[in-house]
Amino acid sequence: MKTSFFRSLSITLITLGLIIGNQSAKSASVSLTKPPVALTQLFPRVVGAKSTYEGFAEYRASRTLLSIQKPKNKSSILEIMNFSGKVADPSGGGSKRNFNFRLRYLFTKNSVYEEIIQADTPFPHQIRSLQMLTLPLKKGATWQQQITQNKQSKKLQAQILELRTENGRQIVKVRYRVPMQGMPQGVYEEIREFTTGMGLTYFEKTFDKNSENRFQYHLYDLPE
Confidence of residue 4 (pLDDT cuts 50, 70, 90): low
Q: Is the pLDDT of residue 25 over 70?
A: no
Kindly report the average pLDDT of the chain as a whole number. 87
**What per-residue confidence (pLDDT) applies to 95?**
80
The whole-angstrom separation of Cα 82 and Cα 62 is: 14
3-state secondary structure of 21: helix
**Range 140-148, long-range pairs (CB < 8 A, 24+ positions):** 147/178
For residue 173, the cross-strand partners are: 162, 193
Spans of all domains in the chain: 35-221
- pLDDT per residue as tens digits for the range 89-122: 987 777 888 899 999 999 999 999 999 999 988 8
Taking the model in full, what pTM does it have? 0.84
- pLDDT per residue as tens digits for the range 174-203: 999 999 999 999 999 999 999 999 999 999
Mean pLDDT of 133-138: 98
Q: Is the pLDDT of residue 55 over 70?
A: yes
Q: Is the pLDDT of residue 1 over 60?
A: no
35-44, 67-76, 131-140, 161-170: the lowest-pLDDT one: 67-76
Fold of 35-221: YmcC-like fold (2.40.360)
